[in-house]
């Protein structure tokens, strides 16, 4: 028995299942489709790229890596807008062609939908750094499990040679006919440097197609990024400085020279970050789709049909209630509790909060309807009952009450008397009762208890029986106090008014 | 390919080649040249002069057209054609 | 069947989970934020994806990606966000991707306000983005329907491979009502002939490019036929007190709730008012509305929280045989039953 060298132990998992035997022929890799069936027209055996275009080189390096690592079938490539809009013509993978700049957003969802796939987002400089600038940054920042290949050729190729975010200072394009003026157009954006400011990416590198040595470095980078995606290591970003002979109005060799002399000084080559080895694996959850399991998580079996009987003798058959007061007085919860209790009694109920700017002003109100019939409008514009917890509320809502309604107001905080004499008035020290119980916050349940007494709709003990579910998760002390509040509110009304 | 050819050697599809000359520049032994002839698309295509290939693969990796260049390396065994 | 008191916004998320929605991608916006919030709380419990996107634009493109992978997927937003999503929606429609979008409408134009309006009608019902396409548009008017119609939206989206909207306003989204939770959906359509799943067999193409003019014309004709089939098969309406109605009111969403109250009050006073509520806005109930004049009615009043967007479609459907009057409230104001009855009295002398 002998020990394997440590190096091969470490490296071996990366190459499981890879077709890495020594090549005896270099030919069109199997990552490409044999016949480009999606390409319209007669020429289904060649690309749409111009002579000397860097896209074809990068495509080949990707297709070769996919074949060598046996990943063609599980790869999904996102084609952008730009010259590589038709990348899907060529790759024998799953393909999505997407809106301008959005490849990283689409790829994020594709990767999450298919966590075991290899997702490649392929973009040019206009797509990635201009219109899609935010999307690439955010995908990088989330550490999405994908390989991004960013072709930087300092120009918009597809639309005919306009300025790109990476166009160099002084560079002439069809929209910078006098050369890019950094005073008006800004500076060429250095994307690797930007991506490298985020914490999540595992591999950030800039390579070039300017000569063979750099094409081979690009090949290494492509393979690493793809392997990272396969091994779920997160976000890998490969920027490739690439020739655009048509856009630059140069031949291929002049274009390679131009990269060397002009682009590299602004866009220095090299690995900005490589933490692939120590990267944690990106794990995604498995969706629960089984119906029984779904029902279990929702707790379907915990729900029990209510057996509470309606009070046919109730004073009110139909409630249109406004509850109103300061924020923090439990206005919303008073309404929600009443609607919930009404629902348990088998009534149709609705609750509508006031929302928006008026909530910011410190007052809050809500509408509650409880009735036998189907409810129309949920906003209560003509209440037959109001619960006014503070003075502005009383002043505002007593005006819109219908005659014969019930007006309950919080006499602890309201010094004035209601002006309406065609409604029944219930002057109740709601806050005071709550304070006597030891916690102002139970005032909403005092109101609920008083409501039950005034309307005759609810039995206080039935409300009390619902409290544990209404206040689920609260300690017993809180539950007890709220139960007591319901009873106190109820008793106050029955002791002081004939209802 | 003919049996008499000596491995390694590159095979260039003259019809697919767009004549960009990147392979000619990348070839360390200068055994690729641009043809005086035009292909059906009007490009002067690259040609192998017939000897001197060392199988470095540069022409393959620098060629932007997926199927324009094939390089048969030293150990290549031709597949049987049935 | 479990019954819960919940907001319309929550009900939409419950409906989505019950319908087998596997992913939610969204961006916060009032008054729709609770949809994202409740999705963020609920989706992870089911191992499903919730992601707060960097923008509305990113969110709809994430929806595009998930839909392209065959997932049931949803996003939610409100007016300004829907405006931003229009390009992505056009791509979804152009690539025939099923997805569900909940739009809780607010006041516009511009930043407008966060009060309830119905002014996204045109931008949602008419397509909204570039190109020839339509969205399927369902218009719930209760919390229960927020759940049920969200589920139906997933079904229709898949059936027709098209974006489906759940279109309502801030009132329905914010309102709490009892919701009976239905059974979860157990059977899902087979998408293996087009969805990209990262496997050998699923190496399909999701795409909306047709460079050849004839190809693109053919594709548009195909879409046109699809929309005709939707128009033929999927119209849903609710009629209330329509049998003997002399005056018909038309409205959807929260205005239809107010109209129901108005009808009840009118009937108590001997006025024969009826309510015709489109539940689907696309397909629009064209044939059903075209028949209204045959009933010998005195008038039609469309009530909407927008300056005459719905009424245009009503009048198109009436084909000049009658014209609908319009009563609208704007800016976050909801019409009251009293206002509507006043308008009815003024217009029709009842």
- The per-residue pLDDT for range A324-335, each reduced to its tens digit, is 999 889 999 999
Each residue of B1-26: pLDDT tens digit? 444 578 999 999 999 999 999 999 99
- Judged by CB atoms closer than 8 Å, whether chains meet at A252 and B22 is answered as yes
C213 lies within 8 A of chain A by CB: no
Mean pLDDT of C159-183: 96
Size of interface A-B (CB pairs under 8 A): 96
C91 touches chain A (CB under 8 A): yes
Beta strand pairing call for A318-326 and A363-371: antiparallel
Written as one string, the DSSP assignment of A248-271 is HT--HHHHHHHIIIIIHHHS--EE
Q: What is the CATH number of the domain that holds A305?
A: 3.40.920.10
Q: How confident is the model at residue B79 (pLDDT cuts 50, 70, 90)?
A: confident
Q: Which residue of A has its CA nearest to C333?
A: A379
Confidence of residue B81 (pLDDT cuts 50, 70, 90): low
Instruction: Compute the average pLDDT of residues A34-53.
Output: 96
A303 or C148, higher pLDDT: C148
- Are B64 and A212 an interchain contact pair (Cβ–Cβ within 8 Å)? no
Q: Which of A289, A349, A353 sits opposite C174 (nearest CB)?
A: A353
Residue B23 covered by a domain: yes
- How many CB pairs below 8 Å do chains A and C form together? 240
Torsion, Cα A87 A93 A97 A100, to 10 degrees, reads: -60
Distance, in Å, from the CA atom of A482 to the CA atom of A464, rounded to the nearest integer, reads 8
Q: Residue B4 domain-assigned?
A: no
Residues C206 and C262 in one domain: no
Chain C residues in contact with A102 (beta carbon < 8 A): 57-58, 61, 64, 88
Q: List the CATH number of the domain containing C140.
A: 3.40.50.970
Decide which of C233, C256, C289 is a domain's last residue. C233
Band (B78; pLDDT cuts 50, 70, 90): confident
> Residue C92: its pLDDT value, please?
98
Predicted confidence band at A162 (pLDDT cuts at 50, 70, 90)?
Answer: very high
Q: How far is A380 from chain C (nearest CA, A)?
A: 9
Q: Is there a single domain that holds both residue C168 and residue C107?
A: yes
Residue span of the structural domain in which B64 resides: 9-72
Closest residue in B to A253 (Cα) is B22
Q: What is the DSSP string of A284-298?
A: -PPP---HHHHHHHH
Q: Name the nearest CA neighbour of C249 among C196, C298, C188.
A: C298
Residue among B26, B76, B77 whose CB faces A212 most closely: B26
Segment A198-204 shows an average pLDDT of 98
- Average pLDDT rounded to a whole number, residues C116-126: 97
Q: What residues 45-84 of chain A have any CB closer than 8 A to a CB of chain C? A: 73-76, 78
Phi, psi of C332 (to 5 degrees): 110, -10
Range of the domain at A169: 28-274
The residue-averaged pLDDT of C242-262 equals 97
Report percent pLDDT > 90 for chain A: 90
Q: Quick one: tokens of C119?
A: 């002014």
Residue A173 per-residue DSSP state: B
Average pLDDT rounded to a whole number, residues A295-302: 94
Q: What is the pLDDT, as a whole number, of residue A4?
A: 43
> For the segment C182-205, what is each residue's pLDDT rounded down to a tens digit?
999 999 999 999 999 999 999 999
Q: Mutation test of the interface with chain B: which of A21, A22, A24, choosing the one with the most B Cβ atoms within 10 A?
A: A24
One domain, residues A244 and A309: no
Return d(Cα A39, Cα C217) in angstroms, integer. Answer: 17
Q: Do A212 and B58 touch (CB under 8 A)?
A: yes
Q: Is A114 on the interface with C (CB under 8 A)?
A: yes
**Mean predicted lDDT score pLDDT of chain A:** 94
Question: For residue A356, what pLDDT band results from cuts at 50, 70 and 90?
Answer: low
What's the CATH number where B31 sits?
Answer: 3.30.70.20
C216 — contact with chain A (CB < 8 Å)?
no
For chain B, give the number of residues: 82
Q: Looking at the structure, do residues A258 and A400 belong to the same domain, yes or no?
A: no
Cβ contact C69–A110 (<8 Å): yes
Domain region containing C294 = 238-348
Percentage with pLDDT > 70 across chain A: 94
Structure tokens belonging to residue C240: 């209330």
Of B2, B63, B8, the C-alpha closest to B31 is B8
A242 interfaces chain B, CB cutoff of 8 Å:
no
Cα atoms in the Cβ-side hemisphere of radius 13 Å centred on A449: 30
Q: How many domains does chain B have?
A: 1
Q: Which percentage of chain C shows pLDDT scores above 90?
A: 99
pLDDT at A165: 98
In C291-336, alpha helices (H): 310-318
Determine the Cα–Cα distance for residues A57 and A366; give it in Å rounded to an integer.
Answer: 65
pLDDT confidence bin for A305, thresholds 50/70/90: confident
Instruction: Mark whether C57 and C138 lie in a shared domain.
Output: yes
Domain annotation covers residue B32: yes
End position of a domain, from candidates C176, C207, C233: C233
Q: Which residues pair with C116 in a beta bridge?
A: C106
Which pLDDT belongs to residue C347?
97
Neighbouring residues of C106: CB distance < 8 A, sequence distance ≥ 6: C30, C31, C78, C79, C112, C113, C114, C115, C116, C117, C169, C170, C332
SS3 state of residue C13? helix
Mean pLDDT, range C12-28, rounded to an integer: 98
Mean of per-residue pLDDT scores for chain C? 97
User: ipTM beyond 0.95?
Assistant: yes
**Given an 8 Å threshold on Cβ–Cβ distance, is A27 in contact with B71?**
yes
The pLDDT assigned to A167 comes to 98
User: Rounded mean pLDDT of A127-141?
Assistant: 98
Predicted local confidence at residue C187, as pLDDT: 96
Chains that touch A (3 or more CB pairs under 8 A): B, C
DSSP A58-71: HHHHHHHHHHHTT-
What is the number of domains present in chain A?
Answer: 2
Report the SS3 class of residue C51. Answer: strand
User: Is residue B40 classed exposed, middle or buried when 0-12, 13-18 and 19+ CB atoms within 10 A define those classes?
Assistant: exposed
**In this structure, what CATH number is given to the domain that contains residue A110?**
3.40.50.970
Rg (CA), chain B: 13
Cα separation, A480 vs A468, in Å, equals 9
Task: Give the chains touching C; criterion: ≥3 Cβ pairs < 8 Å.
Answer: A
CA-based nearest distance B3→chain A, Å = 16
């Amino acid at each position: 028995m002998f020990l394997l060298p440590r190096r091969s132990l470490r490296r071996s998992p990366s190459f499981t299942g890879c077709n890495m035997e020594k090549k005896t022929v270099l030919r069109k890799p199997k990552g490409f489709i044999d016949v480009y069936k999606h390409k319209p027209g007669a020429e289904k055996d060649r690309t749409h790229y111009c002579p000397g275009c860097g896209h074809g080189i990068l495509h080949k390096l990707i297709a070769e890596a996919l074949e060598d690592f046996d990943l063609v079938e599980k790869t999904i490539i996102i084609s952008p807008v730009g010259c590589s809009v038709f990348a899907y013509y060529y790759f024998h993978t799953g393909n999505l062609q997407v809106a301008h700049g959005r490849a990283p957003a689409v790829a994020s969802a594709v990767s999450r939908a298919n966590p075991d796939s290899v997702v490649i987002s392929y973009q040019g400089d206009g797509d990635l750094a201009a219109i899609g600038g935010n999307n690439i940054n955010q995908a990088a920042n989330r550490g999405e499990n994908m390989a991004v290949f960013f072709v930087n050729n300092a120009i918009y190729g597809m639309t005919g040679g306009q300025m790109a975010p990476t166009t160099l200072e002084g560079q002439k394009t069809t929209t910078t006919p006098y050369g890019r003026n950094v005073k008006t157009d800004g500076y060429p954006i250095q994307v690797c440097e930007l991506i490298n400011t985020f914490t999540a990416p595992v591999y950030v590198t800039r390579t070039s197609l300017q000569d063979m040595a750099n094409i081979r470095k690009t090949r290494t980078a492509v393979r690493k990024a793809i392997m990272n995606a396969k091994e779920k290591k997160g976000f890998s970003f490969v920027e490739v400085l690439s020739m655009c002979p048509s856009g630059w109005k140069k031949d291929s060799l002049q274009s390679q020279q131009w990269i060397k002399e002009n682009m590299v000084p602004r866009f220095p080559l090299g690995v900005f970050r490589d933490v692939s080895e120590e990267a944690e694996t990106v794990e995604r959850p498995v969706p629960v789709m089984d119906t029984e399991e779904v029902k279990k998580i929702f707790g379907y079996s915990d729900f029990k049909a209510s057996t509470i009987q309606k009070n046919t003798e109730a004073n009110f058959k139909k409630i249109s209630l406004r509850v109103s007061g300061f924020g923090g007085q439990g206005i919303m919860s008073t309404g929600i509790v009443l609607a919930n209790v009404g629902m348990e009694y088998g009534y149709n109920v609705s609750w509508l909060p006031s929302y928006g700017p008026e909530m910011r002003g410190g007052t809050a109100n809500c509408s509650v309807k409880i009735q036998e019939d189907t409810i129309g409008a949920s906003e209560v514009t003509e209440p037959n009952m109001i619960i006014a917890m503070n003075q502005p509320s009383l002043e505002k809502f007593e005006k819109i009450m219908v005659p014969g309604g019930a007006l309950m107001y919080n006499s602890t905080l309201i010094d004035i008397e209601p002006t309406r004499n065609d409604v029944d008035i219930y002057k109740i020290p709601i806050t005071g009762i709550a304070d006597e119980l030891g916690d102002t916050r139970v005032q909403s349940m005092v109101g609920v208890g008083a409501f039950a007494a005034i309307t005759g709709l609810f039995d206080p003990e039935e409300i009390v029986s619902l409290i544990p579910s209404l206040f689920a998760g609260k300690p017993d002390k809180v539950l007890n106090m709220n139960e007591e509040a319901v009873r106190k509110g109820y008793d106050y009304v029955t002791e002081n008014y004939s209802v | 390919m003919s049996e008499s050819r000596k491995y390694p050697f590159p095979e260039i599809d003259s019809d697919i080649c767009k004549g960009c000359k990147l392979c000619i520049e990348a070839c360390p032994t200068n055994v690729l040249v641009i043809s005086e002839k035009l292909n059906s698309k009007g490009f002067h295509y690259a040609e192998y002069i017939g000897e001197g290939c060392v199988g470095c693969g540069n022409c393959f990796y620098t060629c932007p057209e997926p199927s324009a260049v094939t390089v048969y390396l030293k150990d290549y065994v031709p597949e049987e054609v049935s | 069947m479990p019954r819960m008191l919940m907001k319309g916004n929550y009900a939409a998320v419950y409906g989505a989970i019950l319908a087998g929605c596997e992913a939610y991608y969204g961006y916060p916006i009032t008054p729709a934020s609770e949809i994202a919030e409740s999705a963020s709380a609920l989706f992870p419990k089911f191992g499903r994806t919730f992601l707060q996107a960097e923008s509305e634009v990113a969110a709809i493109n994430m929806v595009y990606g998930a839909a392209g992978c065959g997932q049931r997927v949803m996003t939610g937003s409100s007016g300004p966000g829907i405006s931003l999503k229009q390009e992505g929606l056009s791509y979804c429609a152009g690539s025939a991707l099923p997805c569900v979008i909940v739009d809780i409408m607010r006041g516009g134009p511009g930043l407008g306000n966060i009060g309830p309006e119905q002014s996204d009608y045109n931008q949602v019902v008419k397509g909204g983005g570039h190109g020839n396409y339509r969205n399927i548009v369902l218009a719930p008017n209760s919390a229960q329907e927020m759940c049920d119609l969200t589920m139906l939206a997933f079904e229709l989206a898949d059936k027709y491979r098209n974006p489906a909207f759940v279109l309502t306003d801030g009132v329905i989204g914010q309102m709490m009502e009892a919701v009976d939770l239905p059974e979860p959906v157990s059977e899902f359509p087979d998408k293996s002939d087009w969805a990209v799943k990262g496997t050998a067999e699923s190496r399909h193409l999701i795409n909306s490019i047709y460079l050849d003019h004839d190809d693109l014309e053919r594709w548009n004709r195909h879409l046109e036929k699809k929309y005709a089939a939707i128009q033929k098969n999927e119209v849903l309406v609710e009629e209330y007190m329509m049998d003997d109605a002399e005056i018909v009111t038309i409205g959807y969403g929260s205005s239809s709730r107010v109209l129901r109250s108005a009808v009840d009050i009118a009937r108590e006073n001997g006025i024969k008012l009826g309510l015709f509520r489109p539940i689907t806005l696309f397909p629009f109930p064209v044939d059903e509305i075209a028949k209204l004049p045959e009933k010998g009615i005195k008038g039609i009043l469309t009530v909407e929280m927008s300056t005459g967007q719905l009424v245009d479609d009503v009048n198109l459907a009436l084909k000049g045989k009658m014209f609908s009057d319009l009563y609208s409230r704007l800016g976050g104001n909801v019409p009251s039953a009293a206002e509507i009855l006043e308008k009815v009295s003024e217009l029709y002398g009842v």
